Chain A
Amino acid sequence: MHNFFFQIAIFIYFVSTIGFFMQVITLRKDVERIATIFLGAGFGLHTISLLMRWLAGGHPPFVNLYDSLSFLAWAIVGLFLLFQWQSKLKSFGAFVVPLAMVIMTGSSLQSKAIVPLPPALRSIWLPIHAIICLCADAIFALAACGAVMFLIQERQIKNKRLGAIFQRLPSLEALDSMNRRCLTWGFPLLTLGIVTGSIWAEEAWGSYWSWDPKETWSLITWFIYAALLHQRLTVGWRGRKAAIMTLVGFAVLIFTFLGVSLLLSGAHSYATWFK
């Protein structure tokens, strides 16, 4: 049953994606409202799907890649809705919602079977650690979308091409301040995610840190975002440099998230558990 809602949610996200693209082309406000309503509906169904999976499995649905991707997409959409509700950013949806769509599609290609929870994961830390980490990832995904928009818009203004694209993207400062906000929320969450993971590791395996590939790469990601945040706050790195760094950070984050899980083996590897 959870799969049924999941499929409908994907479909509605798809409709919403088209809506946001239409909005960017036509610049009509009502189209954006409809696309947002669709997105909200899809988000609701997606939430139901997640809860049903939790109930059906009897444990928090953060076990395999399907779960992680699905929750990541859910968090991106949720945070996007929250963000747009708070401070509207022009054309943001046309960048974020397709990304969520892609993640959802990736998720739907994974095995959806509910497997019994491996003993190692039976802990209250599973949902805490996973939710915190995935929310941090979602925030950085939003930051990356904003960074792409910033770089496009910055190019338009630098090259003095003030045409259709320029008109459709938000102001540089709005994009840059979004980058700052994402960073100031995402970074503490990422830190907290690593700390909770470490505590959990100590509880489960008796060691806070064991240089598992996921841990190592998380630390690298953490350092990149830490550097960016530090430079932002002290030297005032902003604009283009910050946007590029955000994208570099996000690329490493994707590798940490997918690459490590799929290619390298370790405690976080979905590959080893569910072959």
Chain B
Amino acid sequence: MPPGSNRPQIVLLGVNHRTAPVEVREHLALRDSDPPALRLFADLPLCEEVVFLSTCNRVEVLVSSRHLDGVKRSIKELWLKKGRLDPGTLTKSLYEYEGTEAIKHLFRVASSLDSMVVGEPQILGQLKDAYNMALKEKTAGLVLNRLLCKAFSVAKRIRTETRIASQAVSISYAAVELAKKIFGDLKDKNAMLIGAGEMAELAAQHLISNGAKKLVVANRTLSRAVELARSLDGTAISLEEIEDALLDVDIVISSTGAPGLILKKDQVRRIMRPRHHRLLFFIDIAVPRDIDPKIHELDNVYLYDIDDLKGVIEFNKAERKKEAIKAERMVEAEVIKFMSWMETLDVIPVIHFLQKKAEAIRQRELSRSYKVIKSLNDEQQKALDILTRSMMQKILHDPIICLKKGAQNKDGEIILDVARRLFSMNSSNEE
């Protein structure tokens, strides 16, 4: 390996709603691991910087490392060990991106082009959370800082410059659309949120803006339920009261972080008679799931989990496709820009060295001259300083430009090597 090419590379490994079913994503999220998943990845020896993103629809590890194959192997080993998955399933569902591909994927994720609902706004917030987590844990450095900031700005640009976002339907919005197809009008319908997460809150807002009458918020920590209920003008209950509350709600949106099922088939079967078999619609957006899938078998009860909602979303796809193409072009352009920056990572030390060396020479020669020509007054000294500096800058200008440009071309390595030798960089480094 030539000495100059040893710059960090970006790797992204992950699964999303297309490559892996909920169950596999649940395993890879490493939700209950201790230390937390981010720490586990950051402690891998070959891993220099890392950001760990885990949402309902995707689990992704973004890493900057100088040893691509090694770091990929160790991430997979960690997942197999901690996620308790068999290697076959992991290989089948995992995607691996490097360099340009990884950057492009991240930009697409951030701009919600890779979302189940293209254009849904939540993913950007989730990515920001993941990044903040990495900042807090100090696992993100020069490369990932720049990459994520760029990802956020790309996402923002795409949101403002294409119509993707304006047509965006999030999962919760899609859920509301489906509820409308079951109930027609949501005007006299009551809704219950189980779990007081952000997703649930968004769904609740959609329901309310569509006319839902009453809102019940159930949460394990009652204080959070009370808080959310107050902001949404609803009532708060504890998880134990869910069964009673089911009697007069029509739409249930569940999104807790609970590891097991919260609502069983028998519980729902019991309440159907007292509620006069009025239609009951469950939306389970939690990963792992909260509601027993068997509930869907009951008459007049409909249960959709996060994967099922795909069907609702597929519709508007065609309309959005055109805007998506525009957005993809913007992503491509930004990826190229970022790759250029990545490639200058090699050049920057050389340029710095050049500038430092020249400046050192200049200073040395100046002070020598001042000693020899004692008669110089301040003004003349100043003039001499400016003269030498501009000479230095003019002489260095072309080589620096050549290096910067060369770095983005194929012959960058050669130019770098030549530059190092011309200015005897390696030997003077050792000095």
Contact = CB atoms under 8 A, between A and B. Distances in A.
Q: Which of B182, B296, B308 neighbours the largest number of chain A CB atoms within 10 Å of its CB? A: B182
Contacts of A173: 182-185, 279
A240 B183 contact: no
A176 B180 CA distance: 14
Given A163-B311, A172-B184, 11 more contacts: A157-B181, A162-B315, A171-B181, A174-B184, A176-B279, A235-B276, A236-B275, A236-B276, A238-B276, A238-B300, A239-B299
12 contacts: A157-B302, A161-B311, A162-B178, A162-B314, A171-B184, A172-B184, A172-B279, A173-B183, A173-B185, A237-B277, A238-B277, A240-B299
B42 to A, nearest CB: 40
Contacts of B312: 162
B320 interface: no
Interface in A165-193: 166-167, 170-174, 176
A170 B182 CA distance: 8
A240 B299 CA distance: 7
Interface in A79-118: none
Interface in B26-40: none
Nearest to B183: A173
B304 interface: yes
A171 B277 contact: no
A275 interface: no
Contacts of A163: 311
B374 interface: no
A160 B184 contact: no
Nearest to B174: A162
B333 to A, nearest CB: 36
A178 to B, nearest CB: 10
A145 B296 CA distance: 26
B160 to A, nearest CB: 31
A158 B180 contact: no
A32 B304 CA distance: 32
Interface residues of A, number: 21
Contacts of B163: none
Nearest to B311: A162
Interface in B266-318: 273, 275-279, 296, 299-300, 302, 304, 308, 311-312, 314-315
B127 to A, nearest CB: 29
Contact of B311 (A160, A240, A241): A160
A172 B279 CA distance: 9
A176 B184 CA distance: 11
Interface string B178-203: 10111111000000000000000000
Contact of B181 (A166, A237, A238): A166
B300 A170 contact: no
A157 B182 contact: yes
Nearest to A161: B311
Nearest to A153: B181
Contact of B184 (A162, A170, A237): A170
Nearest to A238: B277
Contacts of A162: 178, 181, 311-312, 314-315
Interface in A226-254: 235-241
A166 B177 CA distance: 12
B308 to A, nearest CB: 5
A167 B279 contact: no
A157 B308 CA distance: 10
A267 B296 CA distance: 51
B174 to A, nearest CB: 10
A168 B407 CA distance: 57
A163 B310 CA distance: 11
Contacts of B275: 236
Contacts of B308: 160
Contact of A235 (B178, B180, B273, B302): B273
B183 A235 contact: no
Contacts of B279: 172-173, 176, 238-239
